[in-house]
Amino acid sequence: MILDGKAVAAALKADIAEQIKTLPERFGRVPHLVVILLGEDPASQVYVRNKGLAFEAAGFRSTTVVLPAETTEEALLARIRSLNEDESVDGILVQLPLPRHIDSATVIRTIAVGKDVDGFHPLNVAALWQKLPCIVPCTPKGMMKLLASAGIDPCGKHAVVIGRSNIVGLPVAKLLLDANATVTVCHTRTANLAEQTRRADILVVATGRPKTVTGDMVSDGVVVLDVGVNRDKEGKLCGDVDFDSVAPKASFITPVPGGVGPMTIACLMENTLECFLNRFRGQAPE
Ligand code: GUN
């Protein structure tokens, strides 16, 4: 069975769009997301453009700030501080990865925590790991919603996560743990990866490399969530999982494109709406 992220995301976006319609009369305006893109990485340009279009289609206000790749860290931080102070801005997203001369950790902690729609700020991360109210990173949040949409309950299951990034691997491991799965986190130094993946009831693959997981590495009935967005030799979009050999063994699997990706954007909308409402309710963290 295909886990159709496009369809689940469309339903979520439609629900959010309905809520957005009610906001001008309650709060005088709609939520406003500002996306900052540094440089001209083609993949990042596509992501940022898609975000802007999707947000406007759902009724949000969306601004994209494109800065030259050679922008200094200090200039970027100054721009972020001014958006932090700007009352008309509810969410700030700096597209990653950043050029090498900029320290992303410094950038992330400069974003006001109340406007951190990515959930990457150290205070949001700490809150997630302490089960306190927080903004949950979009991709992991979207994956949990996809599981729920198919009636898959992680409770008591063995979840194997390949990848330990702050954006995907670590937060999804925590969410699966909170959903009462037993979680194994694998990475580039894992000895005998196939031995781990064969023990998975739920397998999350976020390595950034095509064909990290092939059919011989999974057990029958596995649920596979593929976070990868790569281009194969023919320039076609593909995930981190070898779909053709894994899908016949899987009970559920996400396609690429149309799986995890659309859920990420829908969850970014949810997070932006949440930051907006927190600010108007005076509940935004300082
Ligand atoms: N680059 C790839 N994924 C993401 C994401 O979720 N947020 C940001 N800011 N940059 C990304």
- By the 10 Å C-beta count (0-12 exposed, 13-18 middle, 19+ buried), 87 is classed as exposed
* Whole-prediction pTM: 0.97
Q: What is the pLDDT of residues 1-41, one digit of tens each?
A: 999 999 999 999 999 999 999 999 999 999 999 999 999 89
93 C-alpha to center of ligand 1: Å? Answer: 8
Q: What is the pLDDT of residue 282?
A: 81
Catalytic residue among 13, 115, 116, 118: 118
Query: Domains of the chain, with CATH numbers?
Result: 26-114 (3.40.50.10860), 138-261 (3.40.50.720)
The question of whether 51 is a catalytic residue gets the answer: yes
Q: Which residues line ligand 1 (CB under 6 A)?
A: 93-96, 118, 138-139, 167
Question: Atom of ligand 1 at shortest distance to CA of 167?
Answer: 6
For residue 72, CA distances in Å to 38, 76, 95, 107 come to 10, 6, 16, 11
Q: What is the pLDDT of residues 54-99, one digit of tens each?
A: 999 999 999 999 999 999 999 999 999 999 999 999 999 999 999 9
- Give dist(CA 167, CA 93) in Å, integer: 13
Q: What is the pLDDT of residue 121?
A: 98
Closest Cα to atom 1, ligand 1: which residue?
A: 96
Q: What is the pLDDT of residue 89?
A: 98
Q: What is the pLDDT of residue 155?
A: 99
Closest C-alpha to 33, from 244, 279, 228 = 279
For residue 29, CA distances in Å to 272, 273, 282 come to 14, 12, 16
**Residue from 35, 41, 44, 118 whose mutation best tests the ligand 1 pocket (most atoms within 8 A of CB):** 118
